[in-house]
């Protein structure tokens, strides 16, 4: 059975390009993004890792760490990182797990027999400070990930965890949000949303983003 939203992200200890990593300890009390690759020296993944390196400051602003996974050994990762840095004009300074024994792939259900009986699929997990899985996305080999979307989802999760709101379709940080239907007490709504709100329907109430 695959991992579901709300499940605890499995812990593990595995070698990486930055030494041995005990996953939960490495995550600490922040957010984490774990994303997998079928192998080193693949073109789409090379661009993704370069983009991730360039966005490290954006992840850091959200108290989020990034960690990649590939089935190749540490020695291969080191050579691949040189290529990534040179071709993507950046510096990879986050770990890439070496999952030659498929330990992490098995824990995170990254082997999909209909896609490949041996190679990991290109999945991504967003993990919160309680070590719960909050987002999973699996991409086809031919399509690069949209890391702007990953950052957007983290923004949404962090906002909605701390306020009684949800974010509408195509929402971006700073846009209006909607008040959750479960919140009905008028005094409580006035206290939580002093900027007011617009009731388009009784269940659809729009308010400015409360932490802006």
Residues known to be catalytic: 45
Place of tokens 């850091």: 60
DSSP-assigned states of every residue in the chain: ----TTSBPPP-EE-BBTB-EEHHHHHTTSEEEEEEESSSS-HHHHHHHHHHHHTHHHHHHTTEEEEEEESS-HHHHHHHHHHHHHHHTS---S-EEE-TT-HHHHHTT-B-TTT-SSSBPEEEEEE-TTSBEEEEEEE-TTS---HHHHHHHHHHHHHHHHSSEE--TT--TTS-EEE-TT---HHHHHHH-TT--EEEETTEEEE--TT-
Q: How far apart (Å, rounded) are the C-alpha atoms in residues 141 and 128?
A: 26
């Amino acid at each position: 059975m695959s991992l579901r939203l709300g499940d605890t992200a499995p812990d593990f200890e595995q070698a990486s390009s930055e030494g041995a990593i005990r996953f939960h300890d490495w995550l600490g009390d922040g957010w984490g993004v774990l994303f997998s690759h079928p192998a080193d020296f693949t073109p789409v993944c090379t661009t993704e890792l370069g983009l991730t390196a360039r966005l490290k400051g954006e992840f850091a602003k959200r108290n989020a760490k990034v960690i990649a996974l590939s089935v190749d050994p540490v020695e291969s990762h080191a050579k691949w990182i040189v290529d990534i840095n040179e071709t993507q004009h950046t510096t990879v300074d986050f770990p890439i797990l070496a999952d030659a024994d498929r330990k992490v792939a098995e824990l995170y259900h990254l082997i999909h027999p209909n896609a490949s009986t041996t190679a990991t699929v290109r999945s991504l997990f967003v993990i919160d400070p309680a070590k719960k899985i909050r987002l999973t996305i699996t991409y086809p080999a031919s399509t690069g990930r949209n890391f702007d979307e990953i950052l957007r989802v983290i923004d949404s999760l962090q906002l909605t965890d701390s306020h009684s709101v949800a974010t509408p379709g195509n929402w971006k940080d700073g846009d209006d949000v909607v008040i959750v239907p479960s919140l009905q007490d008028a005094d409580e709504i006035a206290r939580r949303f002093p900027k007011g709100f617009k009731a388009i329907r009784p269940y659809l109430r729009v308010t400015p983003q409360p932490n802006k």
